[in-house]
Amino acid sequence: MKSDYTDNNPSLGALYSGHLQAITARHDHALEKAGASHAVIYSGNPKVAFLDDSYYPYRANPHFVSWAPLTNLPFSYIVYTPGEKPVLLYFQPHDYWHVVPGAPEGYWTGHFDIRIVNAIEDVARHLPEQREKCIVIGEIEDETLAFGIERINPNTAINVLHYARSTKTDYELEIMRLASYRGVMGHRAAEAAFRAGLTELEIHRAYCEAVSHTDPELPYGNIVALNAHGAVLHYTDLDRTKPDTRHSFLIDAGAQVHGYASDITRTYSFGDTRFQDLIDRMDVMQRDIVNKVEVGVDYRDLHINTHKMLAEVLMDAELATGDPDTLLETGVTSAFFPHGLGHLLGIQVHDVAGFMENESGTTIDPPSGHPFLRLTRVLEENMVLTIEPGLYVIDMLLEKLSGTPAEKLVNWDTVDWLRPFGGIRIEDDVRVLVNSRENLTRDAFAAAS
């Protein structure tokens, strides 16, 4: 699908009206389930560090962001009453210590009754008088910010909204394409920095410059791992020194546009052909998994099938012997690949509702022996999810095979060869379609080439 890869993509304005219709319909249903008449969505507020006067980086309430691309507007509220134009209480304080939000502008503004609020206490007069008919959606740590509304995040409403959020509108999909492209630009810059021999910190800086993000603006902390650091699944230490020998580079990093994230992982070899062959083999496997994504697939089955496919890779690479079922049942594949195949993606990197069976909140457990799988649902059209199989040398997991039948199935000499390279992970963001799929990540790499 062709896309204009800029944040100011003109199609966003055209698509936003349909998106808002979907959002209001979801809230109509949520309010009905909760027996309420008004939804008050709070944007959130910065939090003060313990025993300090500085603030942790602000993250907007994802429910607030789903209404409009307002990721840096703390102490603000959206008031929605079915059948009426939503009201945006746009907090613009009189403050000379900090930069305050400018005048509201953009394609979304005409869809709101925007009221500028200069002091928190002024919010109250814009809220429905009958507070008992309201619900608040958001993180309220100070009850005064609820302004007398007692029902905060009722499960009846939250479950409806979370379950609905797992499928994306056309507007959201277009934003996520933009986020994918921005992330790809960062990955290309990071690979060039790796090839140039830079440190992990310097590679990270090259990535941030390419995506035009400060660290707090990244959707998650970049994983920039040279050599054996690639075996640490969430490695974020960013070494300031160059390794004596450069073997490999694993980068798991995303970008955001209007609050929506991309989540991309690639692994590179620094000239070692044997490791490059293993990367290529994993890439083929990852593409094969992506090609199985479509409406009606049970993601749990896809995860288990991935372990069987990984067993074939382990045997091809002489890391293990046996057959796929045996390697799976004895825990060999889990020792090399301990995390889940992927997760839902959207406003949050690990987006909500990955375990939800229905809008009532019933959950679906992960398969036995696979506790870290974050998505257990049957795939639906316009879900966006990640496919991220991995293969790592994690000694603390491999050591658990010692003294078990699995020990003799592992080729420990090959494990010793692979250890300095850390591991391999390849991750794409994929949209679910009927009998098909859209690979946002691969499309973005193709567009950037």
Quick one: 334 and 356 in the same domain? yes
Q: What span, in angstroms and rounded, lies between the C-alpha atoms of 317 and 308?
A: 14
Query: Distance (Å, rounded) from C-alpha 206 to C-alpha 251?
Result: 12
Which one of 108, 140, 164 terminates a domain? 164
DSSP state of 419: G
For 269, phi then psi, to 5°, come to -100, 145
Q: Do residues 153 and 178 share a domain?
A: no
Name which of 126, 131, 141, 20 is nearest 74 in CA terms. 141
Backbone angles phi, psi at 88, to 5 degrees: -110, 115
- CATH for 116: 3.40.350.10
Confidence of residue 299 (pLDDT cuts 50, 70, 90): very high
Q: 356 in the Ramachandran plot: left (φ > 0), alpha (ψ -120 to 50) or beta?
A: beta
The last residue of a domain, from among 164, 191, 225: 164
To the nearest whole percent, how much of the chain has pLDDT over 90? 97
Answer yes or no: do 39 and 185 share one domain.
Answer: no
* 247 domain residue, yes or no: yes
Q: Assess whether 192 and 148 both reside in one domain.
A: no
198 and 144 part of one domain: no
379 and 268 in one domain?
A: yes
- Residues 276, 419, single domain; the answer is yes
Mean pLDDT of the chain: 96
| pLDDT at 363 > cutoff 70 | yes
User: Residue 449: which pLDDT band, with cuts at 50, 70 and 90?
Assistant: confident
What values do phi and psi take at 11, rounded to 5? -70, -20
pLDDT of residue 1: 37
Yes or no: say if 263 and 223 are a contact pair by the CB < 8 Å rule: no
pLDDT of residue 10: 77
Does some domain include residue 2?
no
Q: Among 137, 164, 191, where does a domain finish?
A: 164
The answer to whether residues 159 and 264 belong to one domain is no
Pairing label, strands 223-226, 260-261: unpaired
CA distance 433 to 422: 35
Residue-wise pLDDT for 153-196, tens only, equals 999 999 999 999 999 999 999 999 999 999 999 999 999 999 99
CA dist., res. 252 & res. 352, Å (int) = 20
> Does 6 map to a domain?
no
In a domain, 423, yes or no: yes
Furthest C-alpha separation in the chain? 73
Indicate whether 427 pLDDT > 50. yes
* Same domain for 207 and 150: no
pLDDT of amino acid 2 = 42
Same domain, 319 and 350: yes
Q: Please determine, for residue 94, whether its predicted confidence score (pLDDT) is greater than 60.
A: yes
User: Would you say residue 5 lies in a domain?
Assistant: no
* Higher-confidence position of 436 and 3: 436
Give the number of domains in the chain.
2
207 vs 213: CA distance, rounded Å = 9
CB contact burial 286-314 (16+ within 10 A = b; e otherwise): beebbeebebebebbebbbbbbebbbebb
Binning the chain into helix, strand and coil, the percentages to the nearest 5 are: 40, 15, 45
Say if 267 falls within a structural domain.
Answer: yes
Residue 382, domain extent = 170-448
* Structure tokens that stand for 290 in this block: 């992506």
CA–CA separation, 28 vs 84, rounded Å?
11
**CA distance to 126, 129, 140, 345, 441, per residue, from 90 (Å):** 11, 19, 18, 28, 35
CATH number (domain holding residue 403):
3.90.230.10
> What's the whole-model pTM score?
0.96
Contact status, residue 285 vs residue 313, Cβ threshold 8 Å: yes
Confidence label for 8 from pLDDT (cuts 50, 70 and 90): low
Write the pLDDT tens digit of every residue in 315-335.
Answer: 999 999 999 999 999 999 999
Q: In terms of domains, do 92 and 185 share one? A: no
Alpha carbon 351 to its chain centroid, in Å, reads 6
Q: What is the mean pLDDT of residues 135-151?
A: 97
Beta pairing, strands 38-42 & 134-137 = parallel
Of 58, 2, 5, 404, nearest to 184 (Cα)? 5
User: Does residue 16 sit in the same domain as residue 155?
Assistant: yes
